[in-house]
Amino acid sequence: MDSTISTFRGALLVVFTASCLLHGSRGEIPPQPTGGGTLLPPVKPEAPQAYPDAEKSNLPVFTMDYPRIQIPFEITMWVLLASFAKIGFHVYHKITIWVPESCLLISIGLIVGAIMHSVNEEPPAVLSSNVFFLYMLPPIVLDSGYFMPTRPFFENIGTVLWFAVVGTLWNSIGIGMSLFAICQIEAFGVQDLNLQENLLFATIISAVDPVAVLSVFEDVSVNEQLYIVVFGECLFNDAVTVVLYNMFSFVADMPTVEPVDVFLGMARFFVVGLGGMGFGILFGFVAAFTTRFTSKVREIEPLFIFMYSYLAYLVAELFAISSIMAIVTCALTMKYYVEENVSQRSCTTIRHVVKMLGSIAETLIFFFLGVVTITTEHEWNWGYIMFTLLFAFVWRGLGILVLTQIINPFRTIPFNTKDQFGLAYGGLRGAISFALAFTLPDSIGRKPLFVTATITVILFTVFIQGISIRPLIEFINVRRTNRNLDTINAEIHCRLMDHTMAGIEDLCGQWSHFYWKDKFMKFNNRILRKILIRDSRAESSIVALYKKLELQNAMEILDTVSGDISAAPSIVSLYEDKKTSAKPKKRFLAADLKSMHDMLSKNMYKIRQRTTAYTGKHTLPNDTHAREILIRRHTTIRRSLRPGSFQSSAGTKSQKYFSLPAGKSLDSKLFPPERVSFTDDQETMSEVAYPSRRSRFSQPARSSSRAMMPLRRLDTLKEVSSVEVLNEGRGESGRTGRGMSRTNSSYSDSHVPAPRRHFSASADNNNSSADDFRNVHQEAEEEEEQQQPSSPPPAWAAEPRDNSTTQNPLLRRPQWNPKK
Amino acid sequence: MGASHTHTEPIEFQDLIDKTGFSAEQIKNLQKRFLQLSGNEETISRENLDSIPALANNPIKREIIGAFFDKRNQHDSEVGSFQEIGFEQFLMVMSHFRPPTLKTTVEEKEALRKEKLRFLFNMHDTDNDGTITLDEYRKVVEELLSKSGAIELETAKAIADAAMLEVASINVPHMAPDDFYEGITFEHFEQILKGLEMETRMHIRFLDVDTTTMRCGRSTS
């Protein structure tokens, strides 16, 4: 992504310079030297005869045309400013632990607003209704929809919808009615507000936006149910709120409301909601189906995802049905299939971009919230605003209390009082409310009052509740879920439990979600996957986790070994979540890890490969080998399998040994040969993260020494202590060399005969599998050769055999031979 | 054993309610199901359960059915297995999956959790010797993966091995190179699943209302 942008910029620059040169060389005087080649410079009518008059006015050395670039320029500056603010918060970690990021953004916005106000600058006119709904909202919602934890969501979908739909209705109507009652009191001087306007305002106010809360919940790791209910609520009540808002703003214009309108409104409500969902699912499937065929156009693959989701959004908007619902369901539907279809890189890109756009949109909104708070006109009415605050708080609390009482009997795990408190107190108001208030039609007489009241409520909830929720949640000790438990055993047992539950439910003849989940999975595996996924080989979650742990392992090794990879965690943490705010996480999302796995393995290879890949404009570089990581791994395994080290480092790190040795077998056996070559073939690479990528183009001089490397590496595999290699490596390129040297030296440390003894003990009963491995290797190799007849350097030819032979002994773990 | 409750007097249920914690309605429901499964017999045999079509696709069908005939799941200290089980035994097994209520205290929850873990453990430990050996573990993993398509035995084995090594490394961190990890004891089993959320995974909402109508045509024998 990054690289494409930078190349794009580079291209622009080239165009720019070229056009300047051209203009200059022709001796023309462009009246307004322009920035890019996109627009033709306005040419004077007498331009063809320009040569004679060229001397009349000298070539302007420096000109400026600000109005031309004003809008994009200002947008860029705003985005940059907001992003800088975000960077700033994370310089000092402790702030973001105690103060939610949204608070900080608003504060910065307030400061900027104050500055602008003092110089009488106009606030940015960005927040018009259209801009918000067409450009700012979709990324935010897509972000939440795409990163929605699917399983808990579907397990709690009833509760989520219950709170989102009924809860929002409850809040809107409750607050609206009570405010209307307040309006009847003459002392406040707001009698001119009618019921419709109050309801409209109440709708705005009841849109809960728990971004800040979610990050707290995540850090504290509250139980899954609470988390997902808050998450889902914020998503779907956006939808409900927007529907209600449209309805009420329609109604607010009408002089009288007839009962028919109420019923029509209800009917419309369902049309809007279900229609949005329908479009979402439709577009989701279409997107998934499309990605089935994108294997040849990897570089534009991610685009489909964005275009389809945006299309879903726009089409829904076209029919005036819930566009939020549409984009969320679209993201939910396609995510699963798309991520299987697209390459790892595209997958990374998609996640990355979704996150990036989402967080930028959100940052901007909070930022503008701060700015607008200062610069906009306010109408302060103590009574109305204070009561708004009070009602917003009270109705939320009451709503949760009542609604949980109703929903609890239907839940397997009921919400207890603490959960209810978390739900109620998590009801912060945020971006949506603000944007809706700000885009209120001007026909509403007391718009400034509404804006002021909304901003007050947002500021109050975000600052007071947002800051206090963490200590409170920690204090009342809400039930926690350990979401980061990824051991193989845990995964196996999760699956075991799922199947047990499904089985027991079958046995006792009642079907709740385990049953339906089971049914859906079957349907999914039999039909949907076949249609939507190119390579419809279902992958067990256990296997996935196994690979992931293996990757984690590799990551740890690389972290300690090579500076080259140090960039990897940073990408992950970026797209992992904007909510990671406070502490850097040790563990990553499963899918992230999975994608990192492949990224990593390829990147490792590329360190050496980079000179060989030259690509055309529309094709992506090709790397057909992903083995070096394994080689490195073997050396580390050897080190770790040494009896001494097994004992000494066994404490916290010991759990990682298990995944190493069998790793190769997974890689080669789980992926059918086509798959191997297919994943290898799309080396778009998240070139974002790897500084080394540049040198592929810029340092051809290295090629010769690089070409030597593979041979050397093979030597290490043959257990020849290879200190010269590392010296050479070090001399050759800074980081890479250092990384390798460390591996090698640690390897040569471990060059101890001890392990052999253990291997041989069990070697005989594994001969057959050794053969297996070799076959698979060769198969894979042949596949690759077919695909890329030219690319594999000869130095690699010998390697597979080496791999399989050296690695097989490693597979035998002496510690716990099965009782035979 | 094999106590029959075909004649449904609420008084007769009282005993079961105390024992299992189910409500009378739930028991009535389950009893209907029981009779359906057994073909109106007083006891259920393995064959009865084997022939449930809904279970046919369950990869761990064997373990699940086995659990019903396992004496260890009856809250007694007996070991061994039944040939046939009566309704009481059926209920006892089912009672492992009763969800907690709001009134359940922390200690009770802990006990429930332990019970569920024990249930899982027993599913693994087929030979009743108190440890899960590698072979037993491998078998379970193989079965778990057996329905997910193109996964070969070798992979399943590798995963089970990895899992076992993981257990070993968590529980016996300082193992001498020549040591041999025999198998997972229950304590170790608890240890490895310590952080795992059981609350959402091991509960079934037993319905109070009768769902027979929903069920028509689905039941067997």
Q: What is the pLDDT of residues B26-54, one digit of tens each?
A: 788 778 778 877 777 777 777 777 777 77
Spell out the SS3 assignment of A257-317: CCHHHHHHHHHHHHHHHHHHHHHHHHHHHHHHHHHCCHHHCHHHHHHHHHHHHHHHHHHHH
Task: State whether A813 and B165 contact (CB < 8 Å).
Answer: yes
Q: Residue B184 in 3-state DSSP?
A: strand
Cα separation, A196 vs A215, whole angstroms: 35
Q: What is the pLDDT of residues A261-277, one digit of tens each?
A: 778 877 887 888 888 88
> Residue A314: is its pLDDT beyond 90?
yes
pLDDT band, very low/low/confident/very high, at A313 (cuts 50, 70, 90): very high
Task: State whether B199 and A502 contact (CB < 8 Å).
Answer: no
Of B138, B158, B170, the CB nearest to A666: B158
Residues 6+ apart with CB under 8 A from A176: A195, A198, A199, A200, A201, A202, A203
Nearest to A775 by CA among A665, A620, A638: A665
Percent of chain A scoring above 90 in pLDDT: 3
Q: What is the pLDDT of residues A249-260, one digit of tens each?
A: 777 666 676 778
Contact by Cβ (8 Å): B102, A420 = no
Q: Which residue of B has its CA nearest to A498?
A: B201
Cα separation, A134 vs A244, whole angstroms: 18
- Most B CBs within 10 A among A500, A512, A637, hence the mutation to make, goes to A500
Structure confidence at residue A539 (pLDDT): 57
Task: State whether A666 and B155 contact (CB < 8 Å).
Answer: yes
> Residue B115: is its pLDDT beyond 90?
no
Residues 6+ apart with CB under 8 A from A724: none
Structure confidence at residue A538 (pLDDT): 53
Contact residues, chain B, for A646 at CB < 8 Å = 175, 177
- Most B CBs within 10 A among A154, A480, A508, hence the mutation to make, goes to A508
Q: What is the pLDDT of residues A768-778, one digit of tens each?
A: 444 444 444 44
Structure confidence at residue A310 (pLDDT): 93
Hey, which residues 717-756 in chain A have their CB within 8 Å of chain B?
Answer: 754
Check if the interface score ipTM surpasses 0.95. no
Q: Residue B183 in 3-state DSSP?
A: strand
Percent of chain B scoring above 90 in pLDDT: 0
Of B30, B162, B201, the CB nearest to A546: B162
Residue B130, Ramachandran bin (φ over 0: left; ψ between -120 and 50: alpha; else beta): left
Nearest to A749 by CA among A638, A602, A673: A638
Instruction: Locate all alpha helices (DSSP H) within A92-167, ordered by sequence.
Output: 93-98, 101-118, 129-131, 137-146, 150-155, 157-161
Beta-sheet pairing, B84-85 with B131-133: unpaired
Task: State whether B200 and A819 contact (CB < 8 Å).
Answer: no
Q: Which residue of B has its CA nearest to A656?
A: B166
Of A506, A540, A654, the CB nearest to B55: A506
Cα Dmax for chain B: 63
**Residue A343 dihedral angles phi and psi, to the nearest 5°:** -75, 165
* pTM (2 d.p.): 0.62
Task: State whether A490 and B195 contact (CB < 8 Å).
Answer: yes
Q: What is the mean pLDDT of residues A69-76?
A: 86
Cα separation, A162 vs A699, whole angstroms: 60
Q: What is the pLDDT of residues A198-241, one digit of tens each?
A: 888 888 888 887 666 787 787 777 888 888 888 888 878 777 78
> Residue A351: is its pLDDT beyond 80?
yes
Structure confidence at residue A311 (pLDDT): 92
Establish how many alpha carbons lie within 13 A of residue A47's alpha carbon, considering only the half-sphere containing its beta carbon. 11
Spell out the SS3 assignment of A291-302: HCCHHHCHHHHH
Integer angstrom CA distances of residue A219 from A100, A456, A467, A580, A805: 12, 27, 14, 8, 46
Per-chain mean pLDDT for chain A:
66
pLDDT band, very low/low/confident/very high, at B142 (cuts 50, 70, 90): confident
**Residue A237 dihedral angles phi and psi, to the nearest 5°:** -80, -20
The secondary structure element, H or E, covering residue B85 is: strand B84-85
Q: What is the mean pLDDT of residues A648-658?
A: 38
Contact residues, chain B, for A485 at CB < 8 Å = 195-196
Task: State whether B94 and A504 contact (CB < 8 Å).
Answer: yes
Structure confidence at residue B219 (pLDDT): 37
Task: State whether B204 and A510 contact (CB < 8 Å).
Answer: yes
Task: State whether A503 and B61 contact (CB < 8 Å).
Answer: yes
pLDDT band, very low/low/confident/very high, at A56 (cuts 50, 70, 90): low
Which residue do the tokens 């406040």 mark? Answer: A188
The helix-helix angle for A431-438 and A137-146 (nearest 10°) equals 160
Radius of gyration of chain A (CA): 31
Cα separation, A740 vs A730, whole angstroms: 8
Burial of A241: CB neighbours in 10 Å, binned 0-12, 13-18, 19+? buried
Q: Residue B44 in 3-state DSSP?
A: strand
